[in-house]
Structure 1
Amino acid sequence: KGVGVDQNESRDDGQLSLSAGVMFLANNGLSPYANYSQSFEVISTIDAATNELYKPLEGEQVEVGVKYEPSFMDGFINLAWFDITQKNALVTNPSTWIATQTGEVTSQ
């Protein structure tokens, strides 16, 4: 008789990702805006250290700013503040090439 390994794993990766934005176009060429979005990405690989599936990558972004369309040029000037947060991002160790998940990564 041969020896086999049965591996059966399941999980629910359903998630609702929201996104919304608003912009106001004024007569003077200024356009203030705000944006909010969420992200969700299934990571379908297995953690070599735990032999379990990685947790899904989750993100959230908030952005506010103003766009300006000057009359003297064909284009926009944009000034914005943003905050991006990711949870469960994969980071690869350059010496071992093994990926691990981080707790939280932010960009501003």
Structure 2
Amino acid sequence: GVVEQPLGAATRQAVVEVPDGEVGELYMAGPMVSAIGYTDPARNVGAFVDLPVGPESHIVRHFRTRDLARKRPDGSLEYCGRADGFAKVGGKWLDLASVEQQLRSAGCK
């Protein structure tokens, strides 16, 4: 899918902005990011990263979405999948490898 308005920057795993058109992991920042968190404290480890932003390199808290995206020539972001092999369906996280295994065992190709 395509996000019509730019929401952020795609990054390599080393947390550097990637060139336009290259797939990277999407991080989000903003006033609400610091207010969110998982109810399980163990899931918060690695979910938030403090990164320098802007010409003065102010440190800003970012949420690691685990979504993969690329910036298109028009400035919109194109969703390219997940970095962790999970998808949220109906409010629940699914392990896509397990779903694929079940489908294959049922004879689906």
TM norm structure 1:
0.27
More strand by share: 1
Q: Which has the higher contact order (CA 8 A, sep 6+)?
A: 2
TM-score (norm 2): 0.27
- Name the one with the larger helix percent: 2
Higher gyration radius (CA): 1
